């Protein structure tokens, strides 16, 4: 390991190095030694389709595709430890399950807060009842997961994409190599076999091998994240555009729009340029520009329509963004999911924003974010940062060529424009194992360029030795360097998925109601189509009377709790296992209690933002719902709902917490904040004081009707916090 005497910033720059820390790293080290032996002996020509017994292309792709899929399955078992891990992945998982039933969005259930949560967008129905919920991510990748759910094996989708990526990378590298070496699509649509340069096939196979050994791609084709599918679309679209297959290019670009719209921006610009480019002398005539654009745009329609229809189903509005709408109701300051001085959501990314964007997200901050992504991306390309520099080699004009290869220029342009497009997003999105995930979409292009760089060695014999050396270096990089990041991924967040169906099955829990205590667990366990009579309804546990109301509405089914306890600091992830066992909420008492923070994300907010915060121990679960005005001198409002089991007159109690704070945010100004709560025709007001603990405001009578009541929280001149609401039905 790097010695502790090194400066922390140098440690961050160089990363972790050491002996192979786990079995995958040790296998990579052994394979690297095999590669070095092949470099020294000069053998292995058949692997590249050369020699007296060449390995045929189809067989090569079957073998390498199978190995890539197998490695991704192994990644699921060893590093993910059985299932999706990060919150984005669990939300994609839930969206895929819902789409397997044909639903972009689904009925919320009652009380809705038992089924709402992070990265889920809730829309109230008429009168506050029959609302709908949908995931905030685009539908393209969930559509693929839905196919996996239809087969009963959603986790096979990623490994299948891994195999397809090998084939796509091979085809793209071959197309770029044909063009760069003078026999490719700039001269004719399909080159004659005898005209193909002798290095084209070895270059294509080298790129495929780099795809197989790429640690970042193993993660992105193991966890249920959309970047592997997007990378596949980007590679296929660029290859189709280089071949001038207009309609096919449009169809694939549309699929990328439906999967990651931002990734389609640079891709669309480059492929349109390729489809409209003026050919070299002797090249086949190019169709007129209007014809090309029309065929391309018609091809994109299926993907674009899928995206628009899904967004409408989730948001209820045409041309609305589900992600922007979600952050407008769950985070702040207003407009934080965008550009400018207010960019940076303080609840989701507060520590990051405070450290990086003290003066807002401007050009300098955007450059810093891009450079941090690029730093991690250097490792992603070939498991070893210096190897990434070889990607630049093909951009130099090759000896004997009058001009640079248009295919190489297009590939570089796509990589650069892709990075530029994501420079507009403030959060770098980097994490161990996943790397610079926003740049992972262009990894197949970089593998093709990396393989082409070795062609500078000249002869076939030198190329094969160089290729083996390149792959061996990538394997060595994973063994002694990159694997440490993947190990960190394995151990983070409790070291295992937050919902494991096998644990539930072993507890003989097959039907009824199952409460979970994490958003991750809800995303993995909830099935919108499940019913307690013949399935398992998974809901968020509140720890208040919302749980009992749900239990009563479902007619007292068998009920259980899935409790995920995070290990204490410094403990290994294997010390604490989730507990699954019978659990039922207490019967409703005369006075019902509802925790305000459990109603996050709120129904609506304006001129500020409402988020859960940890606060004084006097509050329930030591948490409260805090509303912060933007600016602090303004007046903010937030609306939540409270379940009402029966119509009638109620004595309503309000408990607030004084002097709360949100880490990494300014929540108090020079004057004491004042707050207000409105329920029905009654209004409570108070002045917030520092260190005042919890305060119970006087009870008031309100006439309420089922299924719920709306509560409006207000804050002026600073943040105020609401702990709980109590309801007591009066005779």
Residues 562, 693, single domain; the answer is no
pLDDT grade for 621, boundaries at 50, 70 and 90 = confident
Residues 374, 475, single domain; the answer is yes
The two beta strands, 682-687 and 674-679, are antiparallel
Residues 567, 711, single domain; the answer is no
Q: Supply the pLDDT for residue 692.
A: 74
Least Cα distance to 83 among 499, 536, 492, 516 occurs for 499
Q: Supply the pLDDT for residue 412.
A: 96
What is the rounded average pLDDT of the residues 318-328? 93
Is 491 buried (19+), middle (13-18) or exposed (0-12) by CB count in 10 A? middle
DSSP state of 481: I
Q: Is the predicted pLDDT of residue 190 greater than 50, yes or no? A: no
Is 8 buried (19+), middle (13-18) or exposed (0-12) by CB count in 10 A? exposed
Q: Is the predicted pLDDT of residue 282 greater than 90, yes or no? A: no
Residues 68, 169, single domain; the answer is yes
Q: Supply the pLDDT for residue 181.
A: 87
- Owning domain of residue 207: 8-107+140-491
Q: Supply the pLDDT for residue 319.
A: 86
Cα–Cα–Cα angle for 636, 87, 333, nearest 5°? 20
Q: Is the predicted pLDDT of residue 469 greater than 50, yes or no? A: yes
Least Cα distance to 467 among 2, 10, 11, 49 occurs for 49
pLDDT digits (tens, 9 = 90+) for 94-138: 999 999 999 999 999 889 999 999 999 999 885 445 799 999 999
How many other C-beta atoms can be found within 10 angstroms of the C-beta atom of residue 427? 17
pLDDT higher for 96 or 195?
96
Per the structure, the count of domains in the chain is 3
CATH number of the domain bearing residue 614: 2.60.120.260
Is 672 buried (19+), middle (13-18) or exposed (0-12) by CB count in 10 A? middle
Does the residue 77 lie in any domain? yes
Lowest mean pLDDT among 156-170, 213-227, 338-352, 511-525: 338-352
pLDDT digits (tens, 9 = 90+) for 354-408: 888 877 788 888 899 999 999 999 999 999 999 999 999 998 866 555 467 899 9
Q: Is the predicted pLDDT of residue 343 greater than 80, yes or no? A: yes
Residues 375, 419, single domain; the answer is yes
The two beta strands, 635-643 and 604-606, are antiparallel
Least Cα distance to 521 among 89, 79, 139, 76 occurs for 89
Does the residue 125 lie in any domain? no
Residues 28, 174, single domain; the answer is yes
Residue that has been written with the tokens 């299926």 in this structure: 302
Does the residue 336 lie in any domain? yes
Cα–Cα–Cα angle for 40, 46, 48, nearest 5°? 85
Does the residue 484 lie in any domain? yes
Q: Is the predicted pLDDT of residue 279 greater than 60, yes or no? A: no
Distance CA 726, CA 699 (A): 9
Residues 94, 242, single domain; the answer is yes
Last residue of a domain, one of 587, 603, 636: 587
Least Cα distance to 418 among 214, 167, 166, 234 occurs for 234
pLDDT grade for 281, boundaries at 50, 70 and 90 = very low
**DSSP string for 58-81:** HHHHHHHHHHHHHHHHHHHHHTST
Distance CA 489, CA 16 (A): 14
Quick one: tokens of 12?
A: 């961050």
Does the residue 117 lie in any domain? no
Lowest mean pLDDT among 8-12, 265-269, 308-312: 8-12
Residues 293, 334, single domain; the answer is yes
Q: Supply the pLDDT for residue 194.
A: 39
> Per mean pLDDT, which of 187-191, 198-202, 558-562 is the most reliable?
558-562
Residues 560, 633, single domain; the answer is no
pLDDT higher for 280 or 167?
167
Give the relative orientation of helices 157-180 and 57-78 as an angle to the nearest 10 degrees: 140
Does the residue 124 lie in any domain? no
Last residue of a domain, one of 491, 507, 532: 491
Cβ atoms 237, 252 nearer than 8 A: yes
Residues 573, 642, single domain; the answer is no
Last residue of a domain, one of 451, 466, 491: 491
Q: Is the predicted pLDDT of residue 429 greater than 70, yes or no? A: yes
pLDDT grade for 567, boundaries at 50, 70 and 90 = confident
pLDDT grade for 296, boundaries at 50, 70 and 90 = very high
pLDDT higher for 338 or 697?
697
Q: Supply the pLDDT for residue 565.
A: 83
What pTM does this model have? 0.94
Does the residue 122 lie in any domain? no
Question: Peptide bond preceding 111: is omega within 30 degrees of 0, i.e. cis?
Answer: yes
Cα–Cα–Cα angle for 276, 278, 284, nearest 5°? 95
Does the residue 132 lie in any domain? no
Distance CA 603, CA 641 (A): 8
Residues 239, 171, single domain; the answer is yes
pLDDT digits (tens, 9 = 90+) for 542-555: 999 999 999 999 99
Q: Supply the pLDDT for residue 188.
A: 40
Distance CA 652, CA 709 (A): 11
DSSP state of 510: -
Q: Supply the pLDDT for residue 192.
A: 39
Residues 404, 503, single domain; the answer is no
Lowest mean pLDDT among 47-56, 237-246, 276-285, 448-457: 276-285
Query: Helix, strand, or coil here: 724?
Result: strand
CB within 8 Å of 238: residues ≥ 6 apart: 172, 267, 270, 271, 274, 410, 411, 414, 445
Q: Is the predicted pLDDT of residue 285 greater than 80, yes or no? A: no
Cβ atoms 237, 256 nearer than 8 A: yes
The two beta strands, 120-123 and 132-135, are antiparallel
């Amino acid at each position: 390991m790097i010695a502790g005497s090194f400066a922390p910033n140098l440690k961050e720059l160089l990363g972790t190095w050491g002996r192979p820390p786990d079995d995958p790293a040790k296998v990579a080290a052994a394979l690297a030694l095999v590669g070095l032996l092949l470099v020294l002996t000069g053998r292995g020509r058949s692997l590249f389709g050369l020699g007296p017994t060449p390995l045929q292309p189809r067989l090569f792709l079957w073998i390498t595709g199978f190995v890539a899929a197998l490695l991704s399955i192994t990644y699921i078992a060893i590093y993910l430890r059985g299932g999706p891990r990060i919150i984005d992945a669990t939300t994609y998982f839930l969206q895929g399950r819902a789409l397997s039933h044909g639903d972009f969005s689904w009925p919320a259930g009652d009380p809705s807060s038992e089924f709402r949560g992070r990265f889920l967008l809730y829309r109230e129905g008429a009168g506050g009842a029959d609302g709908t919920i949908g995931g905030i991510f685009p539908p393209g990748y969930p559509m693929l997961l839905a196919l996996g759910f239809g087969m009963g094996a959603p986790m096979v989708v990623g490994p299948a994409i891994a195999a397809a990526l090998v084939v796509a990378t091979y085809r793209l590298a071959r197309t770029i190599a044909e063009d760069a070496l003078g026999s490719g699509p700039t001269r004719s649509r399909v080159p004659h076999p005898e005209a193909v340069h002798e290095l084209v096939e070895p270059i294509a196979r080298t790129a495929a091998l780099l795809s197989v050994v790429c640690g970042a791609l193993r993660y992105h084709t193991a966890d249920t994240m959309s970047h592997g599918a997007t990378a596949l679309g980007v590679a296929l679209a660029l290859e189709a555009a280089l071949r001038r297959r207009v309609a096919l290019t449009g169809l694939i670009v549309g699929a990328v729009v439906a999967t990651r719209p931002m990734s389609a921006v640079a891709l669309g610009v480059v492929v349109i340029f390729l489809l409209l480019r003026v050919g070299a002398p002797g090249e086949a005539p190019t169709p007129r520009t209007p014809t090309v654009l029309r065929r391309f745009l018609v091809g994109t329609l299926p993907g674009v329509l899928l995206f628009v229809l899904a967004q409408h189903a989730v948001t209820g509005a045409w041309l609305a963004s589900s992600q922007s709408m979600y952050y407008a109701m769950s985070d702040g300051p207003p407009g934080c999911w965008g550009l400018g001085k207010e960019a940076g959501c303080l609840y989701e990314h507060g520590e990051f924003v405070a450290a990086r964007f003290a003066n807002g997200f401007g050009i300098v901050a955007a450059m810093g974010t891009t450079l941090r992504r690029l730093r991690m991306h250097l490792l992603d390309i070939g498991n070893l940062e210096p190897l990434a520099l070889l990607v630049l080699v093909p951009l130099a004009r090759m000896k004997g060529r009058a001009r640079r290869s248009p295919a190489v220029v297009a590939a570089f342009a796509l990589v650069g424009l892709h990075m530029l497009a994501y420079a507009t997003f403030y959060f770098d999105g980097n994490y161990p194992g996943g790397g610079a995930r926003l740049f992972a979409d262009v990894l197949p292009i970089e593998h093709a360029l990396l393989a082409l760089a070795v062609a500078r060695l000249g002869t076939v014999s030198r190329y094969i030795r160089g290729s083996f050396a390149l792959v061996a270096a990538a394997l060595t990089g994973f063994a002694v360097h990159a694997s440490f990041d993947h190990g960190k991924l394995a151990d983070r967040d409790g070291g295992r998925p937050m919902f494991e169906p096998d644990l539930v099955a072993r507890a003989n829990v097959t039907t009824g109601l199952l409460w979970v205590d994490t958003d991750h667990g809800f995303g993995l366990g909830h099935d919108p189509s499940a019913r307690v009579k013949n399935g398992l309804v998974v809901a968020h546990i509140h720890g208040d009377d919302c749980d009992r109301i749900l239990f009563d509405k479902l007619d007292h089914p068998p009920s259980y709790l899935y409790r995920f306890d995070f290990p204490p600091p410094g403990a290994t992830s294997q010390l604490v296992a989730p507990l699954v066992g019978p659990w039922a909420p207490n019967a409703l008492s005369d006075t019902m209690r509802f925790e305000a923070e459990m109603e996050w994300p709120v129904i609506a907010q304006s001129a500020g933002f409402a988020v859960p915060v940890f606060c004084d121990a006097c509050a329930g679960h030591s948490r409260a719902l805090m509303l912060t005005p933007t600016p602090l001198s303004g007046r903010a409002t937030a609306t939540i709902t409270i379940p009402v089991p029966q119509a009638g007159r109620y004595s309503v109690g309000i408990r607030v917490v004084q002097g709360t704070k949100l880490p990494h945010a300014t929540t108090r100004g020079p004057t004491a904040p004042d707050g207000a709560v409105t329920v029905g025709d009654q209004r409570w007001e108070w002045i917030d004081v520092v260190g005042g603990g919890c305060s119970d405001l006087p009870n008031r009578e309100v006439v309420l009707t089922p299924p719920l009541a709306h509560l409006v929280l207000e804050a002026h001149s600073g943040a105020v916090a609401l702990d709980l609401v109590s309801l007591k039905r009066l005779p």
